[in-house]
Amino acid sequence: MDENYQSGPEQPAKLADQSREKDATGEQPGSPGLPGPETGNQDVSQLFPVVGIGASAGGLEALRGFLEAIPDGPGAALVVVVHLSPEHHSLLAELLQPHTPMPVTQVTDLVKMEPNHVYVIPPNRNLSSIDTHLRLSPLEESRQARAPIDHFFRTLARTHDSKAVGIVLSGSGSDGAVGLKAIKEAGGLILAQDPVEAAFDGMPQSAIATGIVDDVLAVGEMADRLLTYFSTEPVVVLPDEELDKPGVAAGREDAQVLQRIFARLRTLTGHDFSRYKRGTVGRRMARRMQLHGLTSLQAYLELLRDEPDEAHALFKDLLIVVTNFFREPATFAALAEEVIPRLFEGKGRDDEVRVWVPGCATGEEAYSLAILLLEHAARLEDRPSIQIFATDLSKQALVVGREGVYPEAIAADVSPERLERFFVHSNGAYRVREDVRELVLFAPHSLLRDPPFSHLDLISCRNLLIYLQRDVQRQLLELFHYALQSGGYLFLGTSERVDERDLFSATSADHSIYRRQDVSSADPRLPSLPLASIAEAQPHWGEEPRGQRRQAANYGALHQRVAERYAPPSLLVDENHHVVHLSERAGHYLQHPGGEVTDNALRLVREELQAELAMQLYRAFHQQSGSRSDPVAMTLEGRPRAVSLYVEPLLENGQRFALVCFLETDGSDAARAAGSDAGRDDLVRELEEELAATKQQLRAAVEEFESSKEEMRASNEELQSMNEELRSTTEELETSKEELQSINEELVTVNEENKNKVQELSQMTADLQNLLAATDIATLFLDRELRIQRFTPAASRLFNIRHSDRGRPLAHLTHKLVSYDGLIDDAERVLRTLAPVEQEVADGDALRYFLGIRPYRTADDRIDGVVITLVDITSLHEAERALARSRERYRLLVDSAQEYAMFTMDSAGHIDSWNTGARRILGYEEDEILGQPAAVIFTPEDRESGAVERELRIARQEGQAINERWHIRQDGSRFWGSGVVTSLWDDGELGGYAKVMRDNTTRKEAEEALRESEERYRTLAEMLEDRVEERTVQVRQLASELVASEQRVRHRIARTLHDDLQQMLYAAEMQLQFLREDAAREVQDGLEEVLELVTGSLGVTRQLTVELSPPVLKGEGLPEALAWLANYMREVYGLEVLLEVTGDPQMDYEEQRILLFQIVRELLFNVVKHAGVRQARVTLREAEDGIVLAVSDEGKGFGVPAVLAEDNGGFGLYNVRERLRLFGGAVDIDSKPGDGTRVSLFLPRVTPDPPEQLGRADPPAGKSAAHEE
């Protein structure tokens, strides 16, 4: 285990606290460096679950069923996202409410989600989950790009991780499928409605097709599933990676269980996930446990043992990577701009651009790259071929990728132009076009186990490294380094980093694109390819660091080291002849040759031993047998020695090694060996020389062998890679084969169709036969030689043909067309000229026929004879004649109508017939007017105002237009024509117009005169009315003036009385009083008399003054004035007046008040003078619109008409009535002789005249007069 990766928490992280890695979603900018152990940016355990429910067509029923099954208080929020018509108000919330006790609300604004609530998306909006709230955003403009369910699921996955639940119910289309993946990746639950139950199965099918749905259920079963899921709050504790270390792990039960789970998984799936990041693995594993309602790892392990399918389910879950087209568009843009063009640099038509996408999942990324590459390649003249290897562990995902069929929702990620160019839209999905699919080769491949591809220009391995432990990451980077060509590019996820600067250098700003660095090592830095060996054989999981192993084997090693001293010196050599270990004294037998430093045993051992060693090693590795060589003479430390080699093969951990022991015999042995037979020296020398030469040759051969072996090894590696490619190609071929099979199927279908067509054809032939037999049209088919080919029964009668006549020339037969003998000539002419001949002919029975001779054209437009048809037109002919007769009758009728002008127009309004009446009325002769536009008979004014066109238009639209207007005769005179225009229709098409019109000038003129005199009388009447009105106003003014001027006269008299006469009388009275006091007794009596006369005169003048101008009237109200009057009448005339006032009877104008006052006074005087009683009653009442006043007594009474008739000159009743009338009032006198009198008055409050006039009539001299006697 990598020491660098020790920063994790000491305590095992709680599963529930492990929120997603930021990087895993790829939606946020990555944090610097490789992701450490998960740091929750939000405590998901605090959240309640949120269930997103997506539905569309047929969804309402499903939603009802779903909600009805949910008991009250499930502890989760339910968010319903459906496709709603953007133009209509949605009643969904109201429709769902009766089916659940939870409140159902339509989201209208930012709203905080509450548990046990149901939220419903509004129309024309996208719904997003932000934090713990729901927010609305505008829906995409284009219908194609709309996918509100995906949108919501994606945001929900981002905010709620494992607390998110996605459910897809009935609906057509594929919305939801993409979003479900996001939820799944975040660790949420995914359910789909059983397509059998769903009204529309498109959406559930698309969801299920993703292969990630946890369960497919009927809506009624979903509630139980959800409740189990919610209630199993995972309390699972997943051991951290550190606990895997030997020593630490001991005693940790969980760690052991986890190891067993990994082992189980490896056994069943062949993949080892122990080297995946524990956070990711744990999260997915916990989700599986939650699904099964399990809370402990032990229980889950048992489940894995009992149900092999679970291991596959877990395996599938572990491999889920959300991938989109052009994920992180900015990075893709950078790639397209910076990297793609360089991949093509220096490559021509015969070269290849090679790209590898390991962990390609369902292929979106691979296709994205293919699209980028194709887009660039399109700009090049010499296009290199493009090869993309897309590999993944999951074969299921690869099937999806190979198919290249994606839901419509990808429109959100792929621009419309690219959709158009690289995809085919069909059946509610997008399929990648053939030419793009051809570039991508999908193959199952494990990065950790299988050899890599090679000579690559680009490796795109995005968001895969983050799932792996750090040391594995490093190994993979070395692998990539190997696989890439010099200068090749590595494309990583934005959150992934390469720290191995010696291998790769960053080229892009966001560190997602790296370039391979050339390492200046002679040995290609080969990655440890056989990672698989670890996975295959090791009972432990995880690779134990070497250092630790050494430490553990401490005593054994010591023992070995000591023992080595007494053993012969030896080497441990691996299969490739590299020296992997030396014993202490083995150095004697080794030498360091010049040139590159090497650990190759064959080059390290002393020259004398090299050949022998090569032979022995070959034997050891290839024959698996140990052997001992003959001693070889050599000089060691100045002494001759004989050394023999013992080589024994070993197998350790599947690797083959060989032990090479140097067994030394002393020099004498060597000498003995050398000179055993001195007698045959020459022969020996000769042999030795030969041997030396042979040895020389052997050495050369060995060297050659060595180098070729090196080459072989390199080739082998190459072959391995090629093999890999071959495997992939085979896969592809398999697919092609399947495709071929399906094409074959199609061909079978086509064949079937063809059979049907043939059948149809024979059916049609039969139909044709029947048609010919049934038709009444005599038809003859002749070939080029005018031989009869086919004929109808009608023809057989006319031409005397029998069935046996087929094939005979027509000329040999007689026919009944008595008046026509050019038949054969005409037929020949038709054959020659190809122009049809049409003619009317008659037979001996006086039947008429329409004869047609036409060339017979075959389907390929060849002339292969003629067709003669004879249609019986006898009845038609008769009808035509009848028509001509009726037309003539009609013409005569029209022509004889002298009083009416009748003419017809064509559809453009040009006159095309003209009767006698028209000639008489309008003056035009027929030949003058035909062809003229109808406008010539209209007045210039009507022509200008478009009356002509209007008339025709109305006739056209309404059938006829009735018109009366002035027309113009030929001589320019006008006449009043009244008539009607009728539109004439011929088979729905306008054929023209007919106009019938008569001269109505006389009537028109009479009407005009009548109208004018009416007008005159009306004006006169109006004038009279105005005059009367005016007079009435004048009379009213005069009445006012009269009252006022009378009042003025009264004032003037009163003033004269008061100011002069009365004062002088006062003075006289005073003087008389003084005189009376001073005078002698004898004149006193006389003075007294004079004084009495003066006093009497004074009384009279005062009374006169008051009566002429009552002092109270001015400025006081009517009730006050009447009260004064009552008092006055009592004091002066001894008449008891009872005054009764009800309401507040006030008059606005002085004149009205004065008038009423005067009337009352007059009536009271009448009582005094005529009634003969000493009591009267005055009632004053305020009415709604005026004042009602009544004076009554119980006196003698009188005859009303008599009183009114007499003009007594005073202020009599007649006067009262007339004055009141002027003010709009009325009087009602009720009196009979001997029965008292009652006079009632009504005076309206309404102002009779404008107030100014009354104001002007106001007497100017009122002021002082009111105060004077």
Partner 1 sequence: MTEARPRVTCVFIVEDHPAVRKMLLQFIRRTDGLALCGEADSAEAALEQIPASGAQLVLVDVSLPGMDGIELIRILHERYPHLLSLVLSGHDESVYAVPALRAGARGYVMKGEILELVEAIRHVCNGGIYASHDVRAKLDRLG
Round to whole Å and give the CA distance between 112 and 131: 9
Single out the segment in contact with partner 1 by CB under 8 A; choices: 152-160, 217-225, 723-731, 1065-1073: 1065-1073
In this chain, which of 1074, 1130, 1208, 1232 binds partner 1, going by CB under 8 A?
Answer: 1074
- CB 1111 → partner 1: shortest distance, Å? 6
Minimum gap (Å) between residue 1044 Cβ and partner 1: 23
- Residues with a catalytic annotation lie at 56, 83, 175
33 conformational bin, left if phi > 0, alpha if psi -120 to 50, beta if neither: left
- Judged by CB, which is closer to partner 1: 428, or 1111? 1111
CB distance 46 to 16 below 8 Å:
no
Residue 339: Cβ within 10 Å count: 22
Q: Examine residue 1126 and tell whether it contacts partner 1 (CB under 8 A).
A: no
Task: Name which position in 48, 820, 1066, 1165 contacts partner 1 (CB under 8 A).
Answer: 1066
Candidates 1127, 1142, 1146, 1208: give the one binding partner 1 (CB under 8 A): 1127
**Site for partner 1 (CB under 8 A): which residue of 719, 743, 1070, 1100?**
1070
With respect to partner 1, which residue has the nearer C-beta, 45 or 1063? 1063
Quick note: the x/- pattern for partner 1 over 624-643, rule CB under 8 A, is: --------------------
| Min CB(1269)–partner 1 separation in Å | 4
Minimum distance from CB of 1203 to partner 1 (Å)?
A: 34
Q: How far is the CB of 1224 from partner 1 (least distance, A)?
A: 33
Give whichever of 298 and 1095 is closer to partner 1, judged by the CB atom.
1095
- Token digits for 1188? 């009602």
Residues forming a β-bridge with 993? 905, 983
Residues 6+ apart with CB under 8 A from 803: none
Which residue number, 961 or 1108, has a Cβ lying nearer to partner 1? 1108
Distance CA(302)–CA(292), nearest Å, equals 12
1264 binds partner 1 (CB under 8 A): yes
Within 13 Å, how many C-alpha atoms sit on residue 1269's CB side? 15
Q: DSSP of 1138-1194, one letter per residue?
A: EEEEES----SSHHHHHHHHHHHHHHHHHIIIII--SEEEEEEEE-SSEEEEEEEE-
In this chain, which of 623, 1071, 1142, 1146 binds partner 1, going by CB under 8 A? 1071
* Interaction between residue 1059 and partner 1 (CB under 8 A): yes
For the record, the structure tokens of 106 come out as 């339509």
1268 near partner 1, rule: CB under 8 A: yes
Q: How far is the CB of 1267 from partner 1 (least distance, A)?
A: 5
Q: Contacting partner 1 (CB under 8 A), which of 470, 998, 1058, 1217? A: 1058
**Residue listed under structure tokens 């879950």:** 317
Which is nearer to partner 1, 48 or 1066 (by Cβ)? 1066
Geometric angle at alpha carbon 208, from 59 and 420, rounded to 5°: 90
SS3 label, residue 656: strand
Question: Considering only CA atoms, which of 218, 191, 195 is closest in space to residue 205?
Answer: 195
Residue 402 CA to residue 414 CA, distance in Å, equals: 19
Produce one character per residue of 559-586: b if its CB has 16 or more CB atoms within 10 Å, e if not.
Answer: eeeeebeeeebbbbbbeebebeebbeeb
Q: Which is nearer to partner 1, 41 or 1127 (CB)?
A: 1127
- Give the nearest distance from C-beta 1051 to partner 1 in angstroms: 13
Binder of partner 1 out of 161, 197, 244, 1269 (CB under 8 A): 1269
Residue 34's contacts (CB-CB under 8 Å, 6 or more residues apart) are 465, 466, 470, 473, 496, 497, 499
Alpha carbons within 13 angstroms on the beta-carbon side of residue 147 total 24
DSSP 428: T
Which residue intervals of 2-51 are DSSP H helices? 22-25
- Residue 133 belongs to what H/E stretch? strand 133-138
Give residues 1083-1112 in contact with partner 1 (rule: CB under 8 A). 1095, 1098, 1102, 1111-1112
- What is the C-alpha to C-alpha distance for residues 986 and 992, in angstroms, rounded to an integer? 9
Provide long-range contacts, Cβ within 8 A and 24+ apart, for 628-633: 628/663, 631/665, 631/669, 631/670, 631/673, 632/608, 633/608, 633/670, 633/673, 633/674
Nearest to partner 1 of 210, 1109 (CB atom): 1109
Shortest spacing between CB 1149 and partner 1, in angstroms: 24
What binding mask, one character per residue, do residues 1009-1048 give for partner 1 by CB under 8 A, x or -? ----------------------------------------
> Where does this chain touch partner 1 (CB under 8 A) — which range of 494-502, 688-696, 818-826, 1052-1060?
1052-1060
Q: Is 1062 in the site for partner 1 (CB under 8 A)?
A: yes
Choice between 246 and 1096, CB closer to partner 1: 1096
Residues in contact with partner 1, shown as a per-residue x/- string from 648 to 687 under the rule CB under 8 A: ----------------------------------------
Beta carbon nearer to partner 1, 517 or 1095: 1095
Tokens for 1226, please give them.
Answer: 């009325």
Cα Rg of the chain, angstroms: 64
Examine residue 1130 and tell whether it contacts partner 1 (CB under 8 A).
Answer: no
- Closest contact distance (angstroms) between CB of 1070 and partner 1 is 4
Of 562, 748, 768, 1067, the one binding partner 1 by CB under 8 A: 1067
Distance in Å, CB of 1057 to partner 1, minimum: 11
In this complex, which beta carbon is closest to partner 1, that of residue 595 or of residue 1260?
Answer: 1260
- What is the smallest separation between the CB atom of 1134 and partner 1, expressed in angstroms? 16
Q: Which is nearer to partner 1, 540 or 1130 (CB)?
A: 1130
Q: DSSP readout, 842-909?
A: E-TTS-EEEEEEEEEE-TTS-EEEEEEEEEE-HHHHHHHHHHHHHHHHHHHHHHH--SEEEEEEETTS
Maximum pairwise Cα distance, the chain: 238
In this chain, which of 244, 664, 1069, 1249 binds partner 1, going by CB under 8 A? 1069
* Candidate list 39, 42, 1063, 1179; residue touching partner 1; CB under 8 A: 1063
- Least CB distance from residue 1263 to partner 1, whole Å? 9
CA 969 to CA 975: how far, in whole Å?
A: 8
- For partner 1, which stretch binds (CB under 8 A), given 248-256, 537-545, 992-1000, 1067-1075? 1067-1075
Q: Which DSSP symbol is given to 282?
A: H
Alpha helices in 897-1000 (DSSP H): 916-922, 926-929, 940-944, 947-958
Question: With respect to partner 1, which residue has the nearer C-beta, 335 or 1112?
Answer: 1112
Q: Does 1125 bind partner 1 (CB under 8 A)?
A: no
Which residue's CB is nearer to partner 1, number 789 or number 1063?
Answer: 1063
Stretch that binds partner 1, among 46-54, 71-79, 525-533, 1053-1061 (CB under 8 A): 1053-1061
The site that binds partner 1 (CB under 8 A) totals a number of residues, namely 24
For the bound state, the minimum distance from the C-beta of residue 1117 to partner 1, rounded and expressed in Å, comes to: 16
Single out the residue of 1064, 1090, 1139, 1173 in contact with partner 1 (rule: CB under 8 A). 1064
- CA 1167/CA 1174 separation, integer angstroms: 8
CB atoms within 10 A of CB 737: 10
Contact criterion met (CB below 8 Å) for 1156 and 1174: no
Strand pairing partners for 1188?
1181, 1242
- Rounded to whole angstroms, the Cα distance separating 536 from 527 reads 18
Q: Which stretches of the chain bind partner 1, using CB under 8 A?
A: 1058-1060, 1062-1064, 1066-1071, 1073-1074, 1095, 1098, 1102, 1111-1112, 1127, 1264, 1267-1269
